[in-house]
Amino acid sequence: MGQDIAMETERTAVGTGLTGAHAERLSGLVTASRAQVDRDTGLALYRDMTLGRRFEDKCAEMYYRGKMFGFVHLYNGQEAVSTGVIGAMKRQHDWFCSTYRDHVHALSAGVPAREVMSELFGKETGCSKGRGGSMHLFSKEHHLLGGYAFIGEGIPVALGAAFTSRYKREALGEADSDSVTAAFFGDGTCNIGQFYECLNMAQLWKLPIIFVVENNKWAIGMDHNRATSDPEIWRKAASFGMAGEEVDGMDVLAVRAAAERAVARARAGEGPTLLECLTYRFRGHSLADPDELRAEEEKQFWAQRDPLKALERDLVSAGLVSSEDLRAIEKEIDAEVQDCVDFALSAPEPDSSELTRYIWAED
C-alpha cells in the first residue's frame, strides 16, 4: 500500500461469546471508508491517542494517592473519538465543546498537558486558573468552549458558536468565517430536550456543527438500551432532515473519515451532522465508581477492541511504521506526562485575594 492506508473493513464481534444490542450493532457495522493517512499523520494520531490514555492513567494514580480531589471522569477506551474528530478539524480555527469527561478533548484541541494537569490540581497555572477543576476545562486560545458538569449543557453553547460562524460570514460579510464546531456528548444526553431543540435549530439554519455522540453504552449505571425507545441515535437525525451517520468509535481511521465528511458538509454550507460513535469506557463512570454493574464478559469484549492496539495493527501492517517507532512515542509521552505532574505539583495555588475574580466580566 505504500505510504497510504485505504482499506474497506468489516469490524465484527465474532468469537467473543458476547450478546447484546450494542455488540450486535457493532458486529453488523461495515465501515464503508476509512481515512487515508501517511506515516507522519499515522504517528500523530498514535501520539495523540497515547497522550490521552497515559494522561488519564496518571490522573487515576494521582487521585488514588490523594493528590487530586473532586469528581474525576476518565476517558480510557474512547480515545479514537477525540483524536478522530478533532484531528480532522483545524486547531485554533474550529471550536470544540466538551462534557465532564473533558481532559482528552482538551489535549486533542492543543491545550498543553501542563495546563490541563495543573487545572486538575486546582493550581493557578491551570487552563481555567484553578477555578474549574476536572469538569470545567476551558481555553479561549485553543477554542475549547468548556467542559460541563450537567449533561447537555454544552450543546447550546456549541450551537451558539456555530451560529456565530455563519452570522459573521453571511450578515457581516466575513468571507473567511468558515469555522465548524464539534459538540461532544454521551448517549445519556440524547434523551433530554436540549438535544432535540438544538438539532432542530441547527438544521433549520444549516449551521456548521457536528453533534458527536460518544455512545459508550452506559449513562452512569443505566444501560443505554433500557433508557431510550430507539437506541440507534444517529437515526434521530432523519426526523430533522439532517445528515446522520453511525461509525465504529474504536477505529480512529473510520472516525476520522466520518468527521472529514461532516466537516466538508459544514464548510460547504450544507448544515449539521449527527455522528454516533459506538465506543466504550474502560473504567467506571468516575474514579469513585466501583464499576460493579457491568458484566466482566462485556468488559473483556471491548478490551479486545482497544483503539490504540487497533491503530498499531493498521499502521504496522501497512508498512508505515514499526513497533519500535510506537514504543519510542510511548516513552516520550510517559516523560511528558510525568513532567506535567511535576509541574502541577510545584505550581502556585490561586491567590486568596482573587477569590471572586473571573466570576464577573472585567473591563
* Full DSSP string of 304-327: TT-HHHHHHHHHHHTTS--HHHHH
Q: What is the pTM of this model?
A: 0.92
> Environment class of residue 212 by beta-carbon count within 10 Å: exposed (0-12), middle (13-18) or buried (19+)?
buried
Angle at 278 between CA 336 and CA 274, to 5 degrees: 100
User: 226-273 pLDDT, tens per residue?
Assistant: 999 999 999 999 999 999 999 999 999 999 999 999 999 999 999 999
More confident residue, 12 or 215: 215
**Phi, then psi, of 211 in degrees rounded to 5:** -90, 105
Q: Whole-number mean pLDDT of the chain?
A: 92
Q: Cα separation of 342 and 154, whole Å?
A: 31
Does pLDDT of 160 surpass 70? yes
Q: Cα separation of 134 and 118, whole Å?
A: 10
34, amino acid identity: R
Q: Which domains does the chain have, with CATH numbers?
A: 39-347 (3.40.50.970)
Round to the nearest angstrom and report the end-to-end CA distance of the chain: 58
Does pLDDT of 16 surpass 90? no
User: 99-149 pLDDT, tens per residue?
Assistant: 999 999 999 999 999 999 999 999 999 999 999 999 999 999 999 999 999
